[in-house]
Every structure is written in structure tokens, then in C-alpha cells.
């Protein structure tokens, strides 16, 4: 994946994705999947979140890294973005991790399977992943 990691106010999420897509174009990279976002904070603060936005690419250049594999629990969110949608899904995944004897093993991340300007918000599809270990 090729990504950009910054501490941002989540209200500026789209600007960070804009920067990502601009750099992908400037570097001539070839996207190989939908964009994603990683949340590196232990305690999420929406006004100064440690966020990495990324996109899978086929190129092997400086700044590209392999996404570590391993077990994850995940959920699929259908519909528009926003705290009202994401917060309960994140809470349910965290509860599942705890209830089933797992621990977090990396930064949670979202994959934006369907969304953006060419798609009505009610048709958005987002996969939310929690890397886990026993």
C-alpha cells in the first residue's frame, strides 16, 4: 500500500485523501484496490487523530509497504459515513474482541469498498477491520 500518515482533525479527512490521490497521480502509481484508513491512536481523539490514509498499488517504489497479514475480526457497514454509523460498529467489534479472548494486534482500519463522489451515500460500503491475536 502507499499511504500518508498525519495527525489531523477527522473533519479534514477528505483533504488528506485528496493529498493521497494527488501523490499517487504525481508518482504515476497504479491503484490495485479501494482506499483505506488506519487509526493508530490507542485512545481516539477526533480533533487530533493519528490517521494514515492509503491505497493498494501494484508498484514497488519508495513509500510503498506491504500490509501485514493475519487474523482480523471485521464488519461491513452499509450507508453513509459519520459517527452515528461508525461508533456502534467499532464498539461492537471491540466487545467481540474482548468477549472472545482476543487482543488488538495492530491499528484498526477501514476499507472504503464503495463510496466517494460518484456514489450516493446510501450505497456506500465500508469494511471495518480489527487485527487480532490470542
Look up the pTM and report it: 0.92
Q: What is the pLDDT of residues 3-53, one digit of tens each?
A: 999 999 988 889 999 999 999 999 999 999 999 999 999 887 888 999 999
Secondary structure, 3-state, the chain:
CEEEEEEECHHHHHHHHHHHHHHHHHCCCCECCCCEEEECCCCCCCCCEEEEEEECECCCCCCECCCCCCCEEEEEEECCCCHHHHHHHHHHHHHHHHHCCCEECCCCEEEEEECCCCCCHHHCEEEEEEEEEC
Amino acid at each position: 500500500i502507499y499511504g500518508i500518515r498525519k495527525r489531523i482533525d477527522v473533519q479534514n479527512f477528505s483533504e488528506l485523501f485528496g493529498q493521497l490521490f494527488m501523490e499517487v497521480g504525481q508518482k504515476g502509481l497504479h491503484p490495485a484496490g479501494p482506499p483505506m484508513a488506519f487509526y493508530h491512536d490507542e485512545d481516539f481523539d477526533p480533533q487530533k487523530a493519528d490517521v494514515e490514509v492509503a491505497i493498494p498499488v501494484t508498484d514497488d517504489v519508495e513509500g510503498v509497504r506491504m500490509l501485514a497479514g493475519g487474523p482480523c475480526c471485521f464488519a461491513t457497514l452499509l450507508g453513509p459515513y459519520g459517527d452515528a454509523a461508525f461508533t456502534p460498529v467499532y464498539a461492537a467489534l471491540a466487545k467481540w474482541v474482548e468477549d472472545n479472548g482476543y487482543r488488538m494486534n495492530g491499528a484498526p482500519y477501514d476499507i472504503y469498498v464503495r463510496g466517494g463522489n460518484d456514489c450516493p451515500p446510501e450505497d456506500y460500503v465500508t469494511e471495518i477491520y480489527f487485527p487480532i491475536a490470542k
